[in-house]
Structure formats: structure tokens, C-alpha cells
A and B are shown apart, each in its own frame.
Chain A
Amino acid sequence: MSDTVLIFGATSAMALHTARNFAAQHANLALAGRDRQRLEALAEDLKIRGAQQVEIFPGFDAEDETTILKTVEAAWKSLETIRHVLIAYGTLPDQSKAESDAAVLRSAVEVNYFSVAGLCHAVADRMLEQGSGTLSVISSVAGLRGRQSNYVYGSAKGGLNLFLQGLRNRLHPKGIRVLTLLPGFVDTPMTRDVPKGPLFISAEKAGSLIHKAMTRKKADVVYVPGFWRVIMTVIRSIPEPVFKKLKL
């Protein structure tokens, strides 16, 4: 039987490229997102790419807890057993706006932390019931060290990284895998206004690496791409008295 993969935030660039890799392996796909039209278009595309069945769950709003719970319930009701769940949504706030506008700060933490954490718990409950599953979450290398240019986003992702660490610790004895995905710079609509440097990779490349991490590797934390492990090891090893003077 082919794998069933449920993706939250399915129309995001990294998610849709991950979905294409699953489609090529004839997986069953379930796509949750806000916009019905885009989900329908994506579903047709994935079928032509080889997906066996594609079901869509529109109306999913990351900032509305009831739609989160409803979507989880509807997905399990319709698909029964779900092998993979990928949580792929997030928002990159304008750091300087978040410094002066509490609503921007709140929304960044709401979407990147509370929403994802709540969804993880709802998914964990279902996976505990079915006794198996892999929960993969797209976080960010920005969550590994606070930098002046991006610490609001970074702190939400950093909180999420710790949350996933704890959840993994909790679910591991039950045979459920929790995978933390840590992309660096990926060329997506989210990073539209970020100047593109040589460290950027395409969403297509990120999607293929994420698919590989989800299906092949046993690892708990995967950097996308792998060289970010080296970069972040260096960045994390800089002592705070030095780091605070850097312009990062």
C-alpha cells in the first residue's frame, strides 16, 4: 500500500515541492491550506505527477484553532491511517515592525509557535491512537541563535525547536518519529524581499531534501541543506560577549 502524506500549508513553496517528490512515488496526498482554488490546482498538478489520490482540506487557518482541530479530525476521518504529517507553514515578520508593533510580534509567535505546537499535539494524539507515524515540521536555522536582524522570528522558531525536542522525547517510546527540519535560506515567496546570496537554495531543492529526510533518514534533526549544520555549529560556538558585538 502506498504512503499517505498529510501536509499543512501545502501550497507553500517548500511543501509543494516536497509533495511533488511524494507524488512521483505514487503516494496518497492530503493537502490542507487556506485557499481552495490553489489547493485544487495543486491537487491536479500532483495527480499528473503520479500521486495516487489527492484530497484537499481548504479553509485551514493557522491563526484559528477551531479550523486546525477540524482539519485534523476531517483528515483522519477520511484517510484513517496517515503515515506522514508535514507541517510547512510559517510567517516571516518584518523585524523592525515587530520591534515597534506588538501586534506584529504577537502574530509572528502565534503562527510560528502556538499554532504549530497546538497542531503538533492534535496530530500526536491521532498518531498515538494509530500507534505509528512520522511528524515532520519545518522550523528554521534562525531558531538556533538570536540575531539582531531576525530575533522575533528566530525566537518563535527557537521555541518550536525546543517544543519538538520535548515532543520527540515523549513520543519516541511509542514508536512515533518527530523530525525537525531546519532550512537555511530558501528562495520562496516568504523570502521575497531578502537579498539573495550564495547560500540560497531553490524551493525545489529544499523539497527534494525534505522528502529524503522524511522517507529515508532516521535522523531527528535535519538541516536543509546539510552544510547549515557546520555554519550553525560555528555561529552557536561564538561566546556571547563576542557575539553581541557582531552585526548579524
Chain B
Amino acid sequence: MEGAAGMTSTPESWGRLPKVTQTCRTVYSRFATLPDTGAPFLAHGLGRSYGDSCLNDQGTLLLTRPLDQWIALDTASGILECEAGVSLAEILTRVVPEGWFPPVTPGTKHVTVGGAIANDVHGKNHHVAGTFGAHVLGFELLRSDGSRAWCSRTENAARFRATIGGLGLTGLITRARIQLKSIANPVIDEEQIRMRNLEDFFRLADESDSTHEYTVAWLDTLATGDRIGTGVFMRGNHAGPDAPAKKIKGPLPVSVPVDAPSFLLNRQSIKLFNTLYARKVKGERHRGFTHYEPFFYPLDVLPGWNKLYGGRGFFQHQCVVPRDGSGGPIRDILETISRSGEASFLAVLKCFGSAPPEGLMSFPREGVTLALDFPNRGTPTRELMDELDHIVLQNGGAVYPAKDARMAPETFRKSFPALDAFQAEIDPAFSSCFYRRVTANPNQE
């Protein structure tokens, strides 16, 4: 099971909803067969999926964290093979001193390799590097019929494409081979620039497209009218060999031990946070060297930050919509939020690159992606997100399953046009709360 602290608790998702009952079976060895506890199965690594895609009510959850062995590391070519439960944090600790870095990293390093493949995760470098799956050379898939197959772009290619972004539904990934990227040191040459509106964002994104490997923007969702798009644009590159050494501060010595009261994150406290965050940038722009940890993983310094949302948990909503000139759909979405009275604590905006999706079910595609989180306030929160989905679908966009706990089956189908081809590759004994929910037949309800 995951770290010592999490051992006695039932696995849950990062958004801490829904609450479910499931049998847990730890997978101790990549050579082991699936347990006899009965279908449906679902792999569960570090549980950083926000919604129900990492949960399996009434089924068996295969806890994969003990699959944490290294298999091969070629420090000349940067090719790493490891078991699927190895985390990005462990990869960083092992390979950064050798001059290598994960090719793509999401906003937390506490994800497993298996999870990174199953959600085909993306990072701040999507515009140049594509998704995590683009750097996966191959993996072994254990199916419920007992078969094991190496899947790559040349072997079992259909299954390879279905498993990347396949939400764990095609079987259990036991091990994977990844191409790492070369770095000179752990330092990032970072720049933070104030944005006053959405035009600023798109101008900076275009300008940085070919000059910066990493770009992302943080938005103040309480801004209204002409101020929509107020926030901070962050961009960076791995520093050259001459950069000064930077130390990591490491995680805070405390974590969030228990649920915070649900009223802690309200409109006022979020407003205060946003104001303070915006002040982080002194003047118009700030450039400097920083360690990769605060640049990529600002939230990892506070273990258990999800408990700040209290016992009711929170929703994430991440969508991608076409760019559409001056950013029409994104503006619609932001205006809808600001009208709603709901507030998002963290709002992140990024332009995806034009690389074709790596997997059949990959979420990232050309366009602009917006990630939001909302404290769970019940019906009003759900209604707002339904409204956002509507805007996304009208514009031919998609909603991200890894962050979802509530999208309608129709939203799912329209977000993933390759669903039929994907379904042919699903392992019949694998399923998840998410998948059952988004494929439920509305006539039966």
C-alpha cells in the first residue's frame, strides 16, 4: 500500500469523492497472477486521479505501489525500464543526479508510471513534447485471461494505443520502458510575467511557443469583465551547465492531518489567496533560477493539501477547447464561472501543442486547456460544471476523465470519438467507477 502514513486508510481518490466499498489486493510482484477475489479489477497506484477513475466500487482494487523495482537504467541513452508502481518522485531521485529527467511531468511527482500511462498525463511542455505516452517505448500488459504481452508501437500496437490514456481498463500494466530527457542540472531558468487579460495570455503563449520548453498560466477566476484573464504567466527552460546550484527546500515538516472545516476555502479566502499569489511577481516580470521542485511541484510541499477542502471533498474540472482566434470558448467559460458565484482556488491555463494524440483515449489535443477546482458545495457546483461541459461540447472540446467525478455519458462520448475502437481492446474483467458511470445506459436508470 502507499506510504506508511496512508496504510490503514481505504484508498480514495484525490478529490475524496465518491465514497465507495471495494476489496483491496496488493500486487507484490510483477510475476504474480491476478488475485482470485473476482472481477472487476482496477489498478490503483498513488490515487492522484481526482474523481472516480481510480476507484472500483464492489470490485477489486489492485494496489500497485509495491511494484517499485527498477529493471534497467541505461545512463548513456536515458532509457529506463521499471515496474509500473514506481513513482515519478522515485525516478527523479534516481536519475536527476545522472543528468536525466522525466520527459513529461504532471503537477505532482507523486504519481506512478502506470498511472501516468493510463491517463496519458501531460505537463507544462505539451506544446513541444506531447504527452507522457509519447515517450513510452513499451510496456507489459497482464490480462485477466492470464496472458502477458509486451506492447509497443511495433508489437501489439493496437493494444499499446488503447492502453495509453486507457484509464486502466485494458489490463494491468506491470512494467514500462521510458525514454528520459537529458538535462545539465536540476535548475530551471524561470520567468513569471503578469497578465492583465486573456489577450496577454495568448500573446505570451505564442511568443514562448518556440523559446520556452515549459509554459503555464495561473488565473484569478474572480476577475470579471475586462479583467478576465488576470493572472501570472510562467515559463521556463532547463538551465544550461553554468547555472548556479539551487537547493530544494523539501516538503514542509507538516502535512494536513485531518479534514479542514468545509468553510475554510470560501470566496473570501480564495480572493485573499489570489491577491497574495499575484503579488508574488514583483513588478511586471521576474526572471531567475530555481530548483525544479518548486517550479514543477509547488503543491507537493504541503502533503495532504486535498484535505483543506474538508470532508466533502472537491471537484476538478479540466477541459480542452479549440483556440478559436482570440480565445472565445475560454472566455465563455471564465465568464460563466465569474457569473456563477462559485470560485476556483487553483485555475490553470495552458496551450496544448499540435502533436496528434498518442493514445486512442488521450485527453490532450490541440487547443487551450483550463483546469479548475471547486470545493464541493453540492448542487450549485454540479450545475456550474454541467454548464461548463455544455460550452466545451458546443465548441468540439473534451473533458478530462482523470479529474472527473460527474461528467454525463454524453459528454464522455463526445469528448472521445475513438471510444468504439477503444472498447474492442478493453479487458472484460477490468472496470472502474468512472467507466461504469460514463457508459451507463440512461434508459436503465
Contacts and interface: CB of A to CB of B under 8 A. Distances in A.
Interface of A: 11, 13, 35, 37-38, 41-42, 44-45, 48-49, 187, 189, 192, 196-198, 200-205
Interface stretch (B68-76, B294-302, B334-342, B394-402): B68-76
Interface residues of B, number: 17
Tell me which of B30, B31, B70 has the highest count of chain A C-beta atoms within 10 A of its own C-beta: B70
Interface stretch (B3-11, B108-116, B277-285, B343-351): B3-11
Contact of A44 (B26, B66, B71): B71
Given A41-B71, A202-B4, 10 more contacts: A13-B66, A37-B31, A44-B71, A48-B70, A187-B26, A192-B26, A200-B7, A203-B66, A204-B4, A205-B4
B1 A202 contact: yes
7 contacts: A38-B29, A48-B94, A49-B70, A201-B4, A201-B7, A202-B1, A202-B4
B8 A196 contact: yes
B263 interface: no
A197 B70 contact: no
Interface string B388-411: 000000000000000000000000
A48 B72 CA distance: 7
Nearest to A11: B29
Kindly list the 6 A-B residue pairs having the minimum CB-CB distance in the complex, ordered from nearest: A48-B70, A45-B69, A202-B4, A45-B70, A189-B28, A205-B4
Contacts of B29: 11, 38
Contacts of B66: 13, 203
Contact of B7 (A41, A44, A189, A202): A202
A202 B3 contact: yes
A202 B65 CA distance: 12
Interface string B64-108: 001001111100000000000000000000100000000000000
Tell me which of B7, B71, B73 has the highest count of chain A C-beta atoms within 10 A of its own C-beta: B7
A11 B29 CA distance: 10
B4 A38 contact: no
Given A13-B28, A37-B31, A192-B26, A44 B72 contact: yes
Given A37-B31, A38-B31, A187-B1, A198 B70 contact: no
Interface in B16-37: 26, 28-31
Tell me which of A11, A189, A202, A205 has the highest count of chain B C-beta atoms within 10 A of its own C-beta: A202
A197 B69 contact: no
Nearest to A202: B4
B1 A44 contact: no
B12 to A, nearest CB: 15
Contacts of B69: 41-42, 44-45
A235 to B, nearest CB: 21
Given A37-B31, A48-B94, A202-B1, A187 B7 contact: yes
A200 B3 CA distance: 12
Nearest to A205: B4
A200 B94 CA distance: 28
A244 B72 CA distance: 54
Contacts of B7: 187, 196, 200-202
A186 to B, nearest CB: 10
Nearest to B6: A202
B8 A48 contact: no
Interface in B26-75: 26, 28-31, 66, 69-73
A189 B69 CA distance: 16
Contacts of B26: 187, 189, 192
B96 to A, nearest CB: 14
B208 to A, nearest CB: 36
Nearest to B75: A48
Contacts of A49: 70
A187 B73 CA distance: 29
B1 A45 contact: no
A44 B4 contact: no
Contacts of B1: 187, 202
Contacts of B8: 196-198, 200
Contacts of A11: 29
Contacts of A203: 66
Interface in B100-145: none
Contacts of B73: 48
A11 B30 CA distance: 13
A198 B70 CA distance: 30
Contacts of B71: 41, 44-45
A49 B70 CA distance: 8
Nearest to B29: A38
Contacts of A13: 28, 66
Interface in B290-321: none
B139 to A, nearest CB: 16
Contacts of A205: 4
Tell me which of B31, B69, B94 has the highest count of chain A C-beta atoms within 10 A of its own C-beta: B69
Given A48-B70, A48-B73, A196-B8, A41 B30 contact: yes
A201 B73 CA distance: 30
A90 to B, nearest CB: 16
B195 to A, nearest CB: 43
Contacts of A45: 69-71
Contacts of A44: 69-72
A220 B207 CA distance: 66
Nearest to A192: B26
A41 B140 CA distance: 15
Contacts of A198: 8
